[in-house]
Amino acid sequence: MRRLEGIFPPVATPFDASGAVACDAFRANLRTLMARGLHGVVVAGSNGEAPLLDEAERTCLVRCAREVVPADRWLIAGIGGESTRQTIARAKAAAEHGADVMLVASPHYFGPQMTPAALLAHFTAVAEESPKPIVLYTIPKYVHFAIPAEVVAALAGHPNVAGVKDSSGDEAQRAGYLGALAGRGVFLTGAAHQLADAMAEGAAGGIVAVSQFATALTLRLYERARAGDVEGARAAQAELSPIAREIVGGMAVPGLKVAMDLTGLVGGPPRPPLLPLDDAGRARVRELLAPLGVLVG
């Protein structure tokens, strides 16, 4: 398998006036993102409002994405579920409709019971049954715990475990994962404000939502980091970090969708119970993006 590396946006899911997935707008967004030079996409991720999608919608998003994402770029599908059975079923459905890699968040409803042994058993079962490689996904902001490094170490090197995505933003956690992988899998950061440092330490890139509306800047950071241009990467990071922290980190999906609307993509409203940004929030997003020269209209 070719190396999983690059910048991948966890793409937003647009909805139409009736609240259904707007498939045409979704395809149009992906065509634009591919034309801007991104290395692939993640569908049904956290920023794609995955917990608010039903199974048919998840499958539809993968199928629609495969129609647009070229074969030489990565289509990564979020498949994390609360049961091992559900997660495996999602992996098989996503693979059937063209996904290359599965992004697997931890089950978390029964949080206290998600011991290292339980997580290891879960991820091992998914890896064994998934038709495509899996990436372990740790996101304490929503799951409320991190995948232990010992679990990553136990799974590193498994022929169907490609690596780890870490959205914790915790430097010690990142170091622990990189050490646990020990070159036996890729590390992708989900913390855009740490992309330069993560790549300097060995990350293969990032799954970062900011790349949907600050694509050129994110790719510039990636290319400079990849070339070993530390100062250039840090300069790009200084521009990227404030918008990543405030729009994606602070405003979450509603902020991301406004940023997309302002930069030539279709964001639209989030799905309830999420609420759209108010006028002040929209104005703040515009203010943050103005210096980048990415606003449309």
Tally the residues of the chain: 297
CA 28 – CA 36 distance, rounded (Å):
12
Among 92, 132, 141, 165, the active-site one is: 165
Measuring CA to CA, which residue among 47, 133, 51 is closest to residue 86? 51
CA dist., res. 288 & res. 247, Å (int): 8
Dig out the tokens for 102 from the structure.
Answer: 């599965």
Tell me the chain's radius of gyration from C-alpha atoms: 18
> In 22-144, where does DSSP find H-type helix?
23-35, 55-68, 84-96, 116-129, 140-143
Tell me, what amino acid is at 31?
A: R
Picking from 64, 87, 67, the residue whose alpha carbon sits closest to that of residue 13 is 64
> Which amino acid, residue 241?
S
Residue 182: φ, ψ to 5°: 50, 45
CA atoms of 278 and 91, how far apart (whole Å): 37
User: Catalytic residue at 257?
Assistant: no
Nearest CA to 53 out of 274, 277, 276, 213 is that of 274
Cβ 41 vs Cβ 8: under 8 Å: yes
Cβ neighbours around 293 below 10 Å, total: 8
- Which residues are tagged catalytic? 165
